[in-house]
């Protein structure tokens, strides 16, 4: 896709930028002119994301932060002298099919909820305060995007994951209400079956059940992320969750094999 310069002179913060959907969104934002603060716990792969952005002529910063800890979110935040107008929360721990409702451990539960809900909310809360101040002084109105899941509403037999995504969905709605009066938009993108990030496509027979006939890609998600973050295309959209799933939710979602 030919860049449109949607985010020239803007700063973005993207969590989960080392791989899959988060990485694709970070690269896409950079192509559209944003300087991207890339936040992830994986030093090598996050560094590769930053290197690719810089090699293409973009601007990116490497930030290593463990959002699965109680205070890891603080590391992700930039100094107040570096205002962020775009926030994407894509970070999420790997999922294991063995972590079912009857086997998931307390530590696995805590890490998932800390990363997906706690860290995402507190980063958004602090950035939201800063965005409000910027908007009041005539600056750019901020936009936020959480990468949630169809399993915010449909069980996955991974209760920590589904619960965290349901929590994110409500966080998006709460933030949208609180920040809307300042013109700050907050939305969610719910991917369908996208290989990677803990989803093992080889273990499932999905393609024939997807109305559009194929699995999704990280680039499919990144393209919609650009649209939802852009006031040109989604300036009157806030508090919404947009499913980008090839129509798979029309079948409810196929339960994993037992």
**Structure pTM?**
0.94
How high is the mean pLDDT of the chain? 93
**Spatial separation of the C-alpha atoms in residues 234 and 227, rounded to whole Å:** 6
Q: What pLDDT digit, counting tens, does each position of 164-192 carry?
A: 999 999 999 999 999 999 999 999 999 99
* Exposure string over 140-154, b if 16+ CB within 10 A, otherwise e: bbbbbbbbbbbbbbe
Work out the burial of residue 11: count CB atoms within 10 Å of its CB; fewer than 13 is exposed, 13-18 middle, 19 or more buried.
buried
Q: What pLDDT digit, counting tens, does each position of 223-235 carry?
A: 999 999 999 999 9
Q: For residue 206, how far is the Cα from the chain centroid?
A: 23
**Confidence at residue 223, expressed as pLDDT on a 0 to 100 scale:** 97
Q: What pLDDT digit, counting tens, does each position of 73-112 carry?
A: 999 999 999 999 999 999 999 989 899 999 999 999 999 9
Q: What pLDDT digit, counting tens, does each position of 118-146 carry?
A: 999 999 999 999 999 999 999 999 999 99
187 backbone dihedrals φ, ψ, rounded to 5°: -135, 175
At residue 258 the predicted structure's pLDDT band, cuts being 50, 70 and 90, is very low
pLDDT > 90? residue 200: no
Q: Which domains does the chain have, with CATH numbers?
A: 11-251 (3.40.50.720)
């Amino acid at each position: 896709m030919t860049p449109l310069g949607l985010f020239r002179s803007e700063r973005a913060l993207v969590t989960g930028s080392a791989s899959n959907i988060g990485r694709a969104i970070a690269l896409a934002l950079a192509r559209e002119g944003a300087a991207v603060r890339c936040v992830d716990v994986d030093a090598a792969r996050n560094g590769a994301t930053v290197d690719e952005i810089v090699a293409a002529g973009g601007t990116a910063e490497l930030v290593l932060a463990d959002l699965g800890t109680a205070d890891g979110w603080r590391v992700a935040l930039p100094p107040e002298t570096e205002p962020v107008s775009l926030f994407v929360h894509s970070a999420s721990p790997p999922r294991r099919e063995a972590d079912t409702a009857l086997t998931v451990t307390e530590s696995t539960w805590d890490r998932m909820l800390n990363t997906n809900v706690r860290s995402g909310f507190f980063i958004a809360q602090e950035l939201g305060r800063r965005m409000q101040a910027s908007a009041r002084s005539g600056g750019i109105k901020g936009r936020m995007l959480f990468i949630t899941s169809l399993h915010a509403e449909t069980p996955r037999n991974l209760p920590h994951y589904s619960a965290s995504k349901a929590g994110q969905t409500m966080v998006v709605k709460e933030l949208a209400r609180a920040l809307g009066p300042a013109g700050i938009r907050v939305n969610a993108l719910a991917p369908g079956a996208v290989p990677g990030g803990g989803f093992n496509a080889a273990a499932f027979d999905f393609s024939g059940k997807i109305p559009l006939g194929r699995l999704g890609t990280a680039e499919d998600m990144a393209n919609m992320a650009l649209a939802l973050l852009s006031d040109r295309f989604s300036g009157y959209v806030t508090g919404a969750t947009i499913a980008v799933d090839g129509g798979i939710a029309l079948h409810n979602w196929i339960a994993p094999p037992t």
